[in-house]
Chains A and B, each alone.
Chain A
Amino acid sequence: DIQMTQSPSSLSASLGDRVTITCRASQSISTSLNWYQQRPGKAPKLLIYATSTLQNGVPSRFSGSGSGTDFTLTISSLQPDDFATYYCLQTYSARTFGHGTKVEVK
């Protein structure tokens, strides 16, 4: 099975900060990588698929990049709605989620 290592596991940031979350795959997954946001008590929400394609309705402050084994989710200017937990998901072989990154208020 492909393993996904996500970092950091948590971070503290302020409104307007630029935030970067990374995921590393245990083997090449091409660009088969999605990002999800989950707020407490809610189902996950798709943000980005195929590494860099923004899902309809997702603000443009979210962006994704990478290929092969290393991937990044960037929030260009943190907004109040963005304090949540973020997960990467590889879709190259079976499916594996990263362990999540909790974005908290500094």
Chain B
Amino acid sequence: QVQLVQSGAEVMKPGASLKVSCKASGYTFTGFYIHWVRQAPGQGLEWVGWINPNSGGTNSAQKFQGRVTVTRDTSISTAYMELSRLSSDDTAIYYCARGMAVGTAVDYMDVWGKGTTVTVSS
């Protein structure tokens, strides 16, 4: 079945960089966008960015530009989100989600990973 399996929980120091992975299975990895969404404790959902696994093209929310890098390794059907210069405000659950099919116009996030809990603390 279609699933996204994320890497395990992380405890990070302020100022460090974080890298979370998201391994896709059950579908053609290069055929669908991958989004990254985060949720701080007790807060709402916040979109971080996306990658087109076919082309490698990316986009991210303005507040993260310059600090987030989304990449992929098509040989192992895995997407990555790297976030630099961490602060306590980056403490959150980070989700990856499958987006729209490449080349189509109707967009949604239909399959989600279980989330990766990231704690930033000195």
Chain A interface (Cβ within 8 Å of chain B)?
A: 1, 32, 34, 36, 38, 43-46, 49-50, 53, 55, 87, 89, 91, 94-100
Contacting residues, chain B, for A53 (C-beta < 8 A)? 106
Known: A50-B108, A98-B44. 9 other contacts (CB 8 A): A1-B62, A36-B45, A43-B115, A44-B37, A44-B95, A46-B108, A87-B45, A97-B45, A99-B44
Contact across chains for A34 and B108 when beta carbons are under 8 A apart: yes
Is the C-beta of B29 less than 8 angstroms from some C-beta in chain A?
no
Indicate which residue in B61, B95, B115 contacts A94 across the interface (CB closer than 8 Å). B61
Identify the closest chain A residue to B48 (Cβ).
A95
Contacting residues, chain A, for B114 (C-beta < 8 A)? 43
Q: How large is the interface on B (under 10, 10 to 19, 20 to 34, 35 or more residues)?
A: 20 to 34
CA distance A94 to B109 in the complex (A): 13
CA distance A55 to B98 in the complex (A): 14
- Contact status of A1 and B108, CB under 8 A, knowing A97-B46, A99-B44: no
Is the C-beta of B107 less than 8 angstroms from some C-beta in chain A?
yes
Contacting residues, chain A, for B35 (C-beta < 8 A)? 95
Contact across chains for A49 and B61 when beta carbons are under 8 A apart: no
CA distance A70 to B109 in the complex (A): 21
CA distance A87 to B37 in the complex (A): 13
B22 to chain A, nearest CB (A): 12
Contacting residues, chain B, for A96 (C-beta < 8 A)? 47
Contact across chains for A46 and B109 when beta carbons are under 8 A apart: yes
Contacting residues, chain A, for B47 (C-beta < 8 A)? 89, 94-97
23 examples of A-B residue contacts, CB within 8 angstroms: A1-B61, A1-B62, A32-B107, A34-B108, A36-B45, A43-B112, A43-B114, A44-B109, A46-B108, A50-B106, A55-B108, A87-B44, A91-B108, A94-B61, A95-B35, A95-B50, A95-B61, A96-B47, A97-B44, A97-B47, A98-B44, A99-B44, A100-B45
